[in-house]
């Protein structure tokens, strides 16, 4: 647990430096009043990849996650079947604004976890990490797969 805490602090401390870097498909960056975070992400942007998600993974690094990307904003729902680690789900709209966070989804639980309407992307990260970082509704995400003309925090 201490290890995850230190990594979370490093994420926040180092995010300001990375904010000047060009956007990358493998990186999701967030900013909000009082903080920033950056995650190395795997992309799940087709039906098969989204269905597999993070199933059967034994661990997920604090600096990592999976970014689920949809073709258009829509209603989405997740579950934790065959998922072995607790996850936070960060729901993002088409403009990059975080429009919901589901904290600490329970491993193996098959109860549907619906996201807000008009969700374009969902970032799955270590359970409890969003709260430890302060990542919540209203934060802004920067990623090249957002339509840059309408993004609240476009790529440079």
Q: How many CB atoms lie within 10 A of CB 8?
A: 21
Please say if the pLDDT value at position 123 is more than 60: yes
pLDDT given at position 5: 41
Please say if the pLDDT value at position 3 is more than 50: no
Q: What pLDDT band is residue 20 in, cutting at 50, 70 and 90?
A: very low
Residues 71-86: tens digit of each pLDDT: 999 999 999 999 999 9
Task: Tell the CATH topology of 2-150.
Answer: Jelly Rolls (2.60.120)
pLDDT given at position 21: 57
Residues 29-69: tens digit of each pLDDT: 999 999 999 999 999 999 999 999 999 999 999 999 999 99
Strand order of the sheet with strand 64-74? 98-105, 87-92, 119-126, 64-74, 35-44, 27-32, 140-142
- Domain boundaries along the sequence of the chain: 2-150
Percentage of the chain lying above the pLDDT 90 cut: 85
Please say if the pLDDT value at position 108 is more than 70: yes
């Amino acid at each position: 647990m201490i290890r995850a805490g230190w990594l979370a602090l490093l994420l926040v401390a180092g995010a300001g430096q990375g904010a000047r870097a060009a956007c990358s498909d493998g990186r999701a960056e967030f900013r909000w009043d009082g903080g920033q975070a950056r995650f190395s992400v795997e992309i799940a942007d087709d039906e098969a990849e989204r269905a597999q998600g993070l199933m059967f993974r034994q661990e997920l690094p604090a600096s990592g996650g999976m970014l689920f990307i949809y073709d258009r904003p829509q209603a989405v729902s997740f579950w934790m079947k065959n998922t072995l680690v607790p996850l936070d789900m960060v729901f993002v709209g088409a403009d990059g604004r975080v429009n919901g966070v589901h904290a600490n989804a329970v491993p193996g639980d098959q109860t549907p976890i619906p996201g807000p309407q008009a969700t374009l992307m969902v970032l799955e990260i270590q359970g409890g990490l969003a709260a430890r970082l302060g990542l919540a509704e209203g934060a802004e995400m920067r990623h090249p797969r957002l339509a840059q003309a309408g993004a609240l925090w476009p790529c440079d």
